[in-house]
Structure 1
């Protein structure tokens, strides 16, 4: 797991291997006492096609899925920020298709034992 700071308000936790990279960008809010609250706002995925599609130059992909449009009113700006941060650290390079989407979780359920309320 690698942490990157994007700005005073956003930081990134992400992981990578040879085939796939992904991460989550967190919005952080601090108070005057030094406490903080972090909320995950988008997830992102980095892909590299092994066989480029016909009619395209070989290129990578960086897809950002924003889940809180109140904290991220301009998803395209945050997507560009993460692209610049990853590029500056040599973790992604051009050419890359940068995509951003607004997504919402519509529900969920635990499959197996997820919560431990007895701790």
Structure 2
């Protein structure tokens, strides 16, 4: 199996820090992470497939945190859902978790 490299847009992370301040950054990041985790859990539990709006929302949160690869995968999932095609929720969940791991390396040591 090919190992994929997950890309985090560090410039976007810095923009977010500048926009909201370092003090609020961790709280906002946690909010986005929680929203994405909840959406993915609901997606895993759905038997009939999710609508494109779920993937659109995931993409928005992902872009806010600079989860470039995950956002791209959400865009593709949204297109598939619009076309009535199945979406690989397991892959999306994996890519989210890998993105979180890469993201955590960018957090201050006392935030982990």
TM-score, normalised with respect to structure 1? 0.29
Of structures 1 and 2, the one with the larger relative CO (CA 8 A, separation 6+) is 2
Name whichever structure is richer in helix by fraction: 2
Q: Which structure has the greater CA radius of gyration?
A: 1
Name whichever structure is richer in strand by fraction: 1
